[in-house]
Structure 1
Amino acid sequence: MRVVWQLVAVVAVFLIGIQVVAVVEGNPWLTLALGVLTAGLAVLVYGWVVRRTERRPATEVSREGAGAAVGWGVLIGVALFGAVIANIAFLGDYEVNGLGSATGAVGLFGFMAAAAVREELLFRGILFRIMEERAGTWIALALTGMLFGLSHLLNPHASLWGAIAIAIEAGGMLGAAYAATRKLWVPIGLHFGWNFAASGIFSTEVSGTNTQQGMLDSATSGPQLITGGDFGPEGSVFSVLFGVVLTVVFMWLARRRGHLVPRRRRADRVEATTTLSR
């Protein structure tokens, strides 16, 4: 039941946030403020519901070192997506025609902040963490990565390849970032930095969704394998390659720090269930 209550609490915050943001659609400054407010409120609600349902401090969202961790995550995300665009541009498939819209980037900042926090709380904070307790780190990484990819099939211009790419590059990378740090701040920052770079800086599609124009007036054309086609650069082979590399780095750190959780044996699960029932 803790999974249900945690999911309901976090989803409820974002459903309300989506309705409020829809009312101010077209106003980038209000979108920025409400997006950041929704993200912050969701973290607070997540911490509260975890404490109530698990009777423990929600250390994965503790404030200590949060700012620096989010900052590092954002830098990694922006740099990683920048490397993807650089490779696409080197092949002549991404062109910048001039400056885009600064106010558009402002609104996208708030929108992407809320989206990054929502998905990290749901997929890494709840699903990955609780699956990992029983199935171990590697199985939880594979299962939540697959679920994360499948969830993007609901997006406009979604494709099976796009969902597979997201599962590998993002589902794996973000889950591994949590495993390495045991906090949600680096995954949140990384997720936000990647999405904001895609939309707010380079003005490309994000997971099959066309966003407002960001800081650059740009155009992408060329083979789908290179550019990602209508799905956007997240469907590019470069995104998959760089995502896999970073996943390996984070999992190496997780192993080195002793953060990998082994799969629980059946006897351990029975014993834990018996203890809880007493």
Structure 2
Amino acid sequence: MKNIFYNDDKKVRNGWWILIFIALVAATRPIYKPIKEGLSHLGFTEQMLEPVSFLLLLLVTWICIKIRKESLSDVGFGFSPRWFKHFFGGTIAGITMMLATVALVYLVGGVSFELDPQRSLQVLSYGFYLFLLGSLFEEILHRGFVFQRLIDGIGIWGAQLLIAFLFTFGHWGNPGMEGSTQIFSSIDLFLGSIILGLAYIKTHSLALPIGIHLGWNWMQGNVLGFGVTGHEQAGWFKPVFQGMQEWVSGGEFGPEASIFSVVVSIAGLVILLRWKGTVKRKQNTQETIAEATATS
């Protein structure tokens, strides 16, 4: 009879690791509010408490990898000059993709810009801080331990498709997700998840996907002033829409609901597929990386 707990290598099956991770995440939810309240009483400000969600998720990840006798570098947090090079490169790539999307919307007359009267360097810096934390949280959740166990269990593209569906579905409750906005934003979110997953696969690091995610959102929201997946943002600029349909301009939801965002995402995906990557091979990931680079 096939052992439901262990694979042929006498290791715990990936499905059980995913269940352990989910159980630990669920266990942290009841302590989230008490931790924040306790730290508030100690004088921590709301800004200082913003990282709590990410830190709890990082703690769960750390527990899982310690049980597996691994380190944070195995899950993609191997801080090094190479890691930061990928992070900053990814941030520039995310900014560039957003600028390309908005440039196309601008060129067809879908939007113009004026300076936001409330603009400030504080808005830019604090927005960068919040989007950094959001990117850290979302990438360790969607491209971290669970994603990596799925790759080991069902292969690269099985993991990619499953996480992309979950990533897209997770945004369906956002403001404005209806009609053409829901169609084009869902396509773009799906493609975005594939891009971020491939960024991890090509580097075996979370630095590149975190950077791309951060650059995309920060430029979209706190610099250009668009909504980010339906959530209004204060920016340096203020977009003025010219009455075109939302599938062209993205509207209040943000450029992610524009067909031009889909075009730019497809172009970014093609470039990433053709890139050979910089991953350092390990015994337990050699076949995975070989499969990824075979698509290049």
Q: What TM bracket, shorter-length normalisation? A: 0.7 to 0.9
Determine which of 35, 55, 62 is the counterpart of 2:69: 55
Q: Distance in 1 between matches of 2:169 and 2:130?
A: 21
8 Å Cα contact 2:36/2:52 also seen in 1: no
Aligned residue runs from structure 1 range 136-215, under 5 A? 136-159=155-178, 160-211=182-233, 213-215=234-236
In structure 2, what is the Cα distance between the partners aligned to 1:240 and 1:207? 14
Query: For residue 52 of structure 1, what is the amino acid of its counterpart?
Result: K
| 8 Å contact kept, 2:98–2:220 | yes
2:119 corresponds in structure 1 to 101
State the TM-score, normalizing by the size of structure 1: 0.78
Unaligned segments of structure 1, at least 5 residues: 25-29, 263-278
- Partner letter of residue 127 of structure 2? L
The secondary structure found in structure 1 opposite 2:235 is coil
**8 Å contact from structure 1 (residues 10, 121) kept in 2:** no
Does structure 1 residue 111 correspond to structure 2 residue 133?
Answer: no
Instruction: Identify the residue that residue 241 of structure 2 maps to in structure 1.
Output: 220
Contact 1:77 1:189 in 2 (8 A): yes
Map 1:57-96 to 2 at 5 A.
Answer: 57-58=71-72, 59=74, 60-64=76-80, 65-96=82-113
Larger radius of gyration: 2
Q: Could you report, residue by residue, the CA deviation over 1:98-118 in whole angstroms, capped at 9, with x for unpaired residues?
A: 245223333322221121111
The question of whether the paired residues in 2 share the 8 Å contact of 1:7 and 1:126 is answered with no
Deviation at 1:44, TM superposition (A): 4.7
Identity of aligned residues (%): 21
Number of the residue aligned with 2:267: 245
Contact 2:203 2:278 in 1 (8 A): no
Return the letter of the residue paired with 1:2. W
Task: Give the drift of 1:174.
Answer: 0.6
More off after superposition, 162-171 vs 130-139 = 162-171
User: Could you list the per-position Cα deviations for residues 176-214 of structure 1 after superposition, in whole angstroms to 9, with x for gaps in the alignment?
Assistant: 111111111100011011011111110001111222x11
Q: How many residues align?
A: 253
Which of 21, 27, 44 is 1:6 aligned to? 21
Distance 1:247 1:63 in 2: 26
The whole-number CA distance in structure 2 between the counterparts of 1:148 and 1:111 is 19
> 1:34-62, CA deviations, whole angstroms, 9 ceiling, x for partnerless residues?
44x44873575255223223222232111
Residues 1:85 and 1:163: Cα distance change in structure 2 (over 3 Å) = closer
- How far has the Cα of 1:250 moved from its partner? 2.1
Which amino acid in 2 is paired with 1:3? I
CA distance in 2, matches of 1:42, 1:162: 33
Counterpart of 2:87 in structure 1: which amino acid? V
SS at match of 1:61: coil
Q: Is the 8 A contact 2:124 2:235 kept in 1?
A: yes
Structure 2 CA distance for partners of 1:151 and 1:51, relative to 1, 3 Å: same
Mean Cα deviation higher: 196-205 or 127-136 = 127-136
